Structure 1
Amino acid sequence: MAEPTRWDPCTFTPEQIGDTGLDPDHRDVGWGRGIVVPDWDICRFRPVGVDVPYVFVVKSSLNRTVDEARSDSGNLDGLDTELDGRDAFQYRTDVARSIIDCNLAVDLSSGIVVFSVDYLHVGDGVDPCPILHRHVDDLKVALPSA
């Protein structure tokens, strides 16, 4: 039996990214120069423009689960949910004062994908969760079949 492969969070086409209102010409692949996070692949997207209010982050792992996200005490305001019949968990974190985030961990046939909106304009009263759900609803068709 073949080893499962990690789903690539940069799989989205420029057209799919553009259709959800993000910049189809911008994608930031990986963790950064010299940084290796063995359990996770990451891809970042952003809206069109210069002073962008948020970054849309997609991470995938073969070794993590939605239940781990549920049981992590650092994940706040947890909400059990689903995405097209897949187990999912929405949460926020408090890891940085420079952002307000909203995250959605979604079960894949092999591993997990975590979608995040890291909202940068802290203090303007915007809830990042509706932004997150709009992008996830637009992009969920690209997830591997369950």
Structure 2
Amino acid sequence: MGRLDAISVSTVQASLIDEIPAVRIGAGCTRRDLSSDGSVRVWVVDMEPGSTWPYVDDHDTGEHYYVVAGEVIEGRARYGIGTYVRFLPGTSHRPRTDTGVRLFGFNLDPSAMLAAREAASRAHRFNYSQG
């Protein structure tokens, strides 16, 4: 498959995942960062058969991913193709795989999360002029 044809509509962005440069995270583990609006980090992770994420991944704002190919192992649980996995804020994990895996995921940018909390706090403050 070749490059995508340009679309004249300026509101659409399209990318072929495998044409986005991969960042090596550790032995057998790569990540491709996808374009987003900045408040959400969007990515694709590929892990080769027998690999383990090189460190424990902590998530202040949580993390979500969808298993696109292969199988990922989280602790004793195995998640195959078509599984949606969500880690709540304040959790951590260290995925591994026997078969290899491709994950499509996202998590909120911590600074964007803080800004949203501050905005919500301002919106809910008592307005003295309203009595």
Structure with the greater alpha carbon radius of gyration: 2
Same fold (TM over 0.5): no
Q: Looking at both structures, which has the greater relative contact order when contacts are Cα pairs under 8 Å and sequence separation is at least 6?
A: 2
TM bucket, shorter chain: 0.3 to 0.5
**Structure with the higher strand share, 1 or 2:** 2
TM normalised by structure 2 equals 0.40
TM-score by length of 1: 0.37
